[in-house]
């Protein structure tokens, strides 16, 4: 456990040594998560646990999230192209976190079936955790 | 709450966080630019898929 604490302290104090790779990996992870969520939500609709309107709303959110992810990736590439700019990668990730956490948008992700709602919530929380963890791992770089 | 339980829960949470960080760092031998290319490709595929799924849904009443 001391190793864990030491690593976390190291990460928080120095940031990671490959911020471009870590920042880019987040874009890939979010994209894969969106892809899996698309498939899952459509299957819920086929199974009858999500209505057509609910799927339309959730796919709209996932589409927006996918667009935000594309914008984030472009931001990361800009930061990589400007290595002297301090905090560029972290700023990209913070912008993504802010945009995807819009309360009004999240409130619209309501599904009447409890099991399907739990799955939707888990996906959104999982992506949010990915973003927040990456911001921590970047350590301000 | 029992202090030992609290500490154990905190340590378990730190372990979970470390696992996530390691997962993010584990890039499967890909270069940074390969990761970017893979992400771009997946984002484009997602857009196409979402449009197709929305198109397959019945029109709103």
pLDDT tens per residue, range A29-58: 899 889 988 998 899 899 898 899 989 989
The CATH class given to the A18-138 domain equals: mainly alpha
pLDDT of residue B27: 47
C-alpha to C-alpha distance for A108 and A26, rounded to whole angstroms: 25
> Looking at the domain assignment, is residue B61 inside a domain?
no
Contact yes or no for A45/B54 (Cβ under 8 A):
no
Average pLDDT over residues A110-138: 85
Cβ neighbour number for residue B15 with a 10 Å cutoff: 11
> Looking at the domain assignment, is residue B37 inside a domain?
yes
| Structure confidence at residue A69 as a pLDDT band (50, 70, 90) | very high
Domain containing B8 equals 3-56
> Looking at the domain assignment, is residue B11 inside a domain?
yes
Q: Do B43 and A26 touch (CB under 8 A)?
A: no
**Residue B24 contacts A where some CB pair is shorter than 8 Å:** yes
Residue B30 CB-half CA count within 13 A: 19
**Torsion, CA A58, CA B51, CA B53, CA B59, rounded to 10:** 80
Q: How many domains does chain B have?
A: 1
ipTM of this complex prediction, to 2 decimal places: 0.80
| Structure confidence at residue B41 as a pLDDT band (50, 70, 90) | very high
Q: Which of A21, A45, A80, A139 to mutate to test the interface with B (most CBs of B within 10 A)?
A: A21
Q: pLDDT above 70 covers what percent of chain A?
A: 89
A81's tokens = 């192209």
A103/chain B closest Cα distance in angstroms: 22
**Residue B60 contacts A where some CB pair is shorter than 8 Å:** yes
**Residue B42 contacts A where some CB pair is shorter than 8 Å:** yes
B46 vs A45, A52, A66: nearest CB: A66
Could you tell me where the beta strands, DSSP code E, fall in A8-78? Answer: none
pLDDT of residue B43: 95
C-alpha to C-alpha distance for B24 and A100, rounded to whole angstroms: 19
pLDDT of residue B54: 93
C-alpha to C-alpha distance for A22 and A25, rounded to whole angstroms: 5
Instruction: Look up the pTM and report it.
Output: 0.76
Residues of A (83-122) whose Cβ lies below 8 Å from B: none
């Amino acid at each position: 456990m001391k190793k864990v604490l030491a690593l976390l302290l190291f990460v928080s104090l120095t940031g990671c040594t490959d911020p471009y790779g870590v920042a880019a990996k987040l874009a890939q992870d979010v994209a894969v998560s969106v892809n899996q969520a698309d498939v899952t939500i459509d299957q819920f609709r086929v199974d009858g646990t999500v209505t057509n309107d609910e799927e339309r709303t959730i796919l709209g959110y996932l589409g927006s999230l996918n667009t935000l992810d594309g914008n984030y990736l472009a931001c990361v590439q800009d930061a990589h192209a400007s290595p002297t700019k301090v905090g560029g990668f972290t700023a990209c990730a913070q912008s993504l976190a802010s945009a995807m956490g819009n309360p009004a948008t999240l409130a619209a992700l309501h599904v009447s079936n409890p099991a399907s709602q739990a799955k939707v919530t888990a996906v959104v929380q999982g992506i949010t955790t990915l973003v927040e963890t990456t911001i921590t791992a970047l350590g301000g770089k | 709450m029992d202090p030992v339980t609290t500490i154990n829960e905190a340590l378990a949470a730190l372990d979970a966080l470390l696992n996530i960080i390691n997962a993010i760092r584990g890039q499967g031998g890909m270069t940074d630019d390969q990761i970017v290319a893979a992400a771009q490709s997946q984002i484009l595929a997602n857009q196409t898929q979402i449009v197709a799924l929305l198109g397959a849904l019945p029109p709103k009443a």
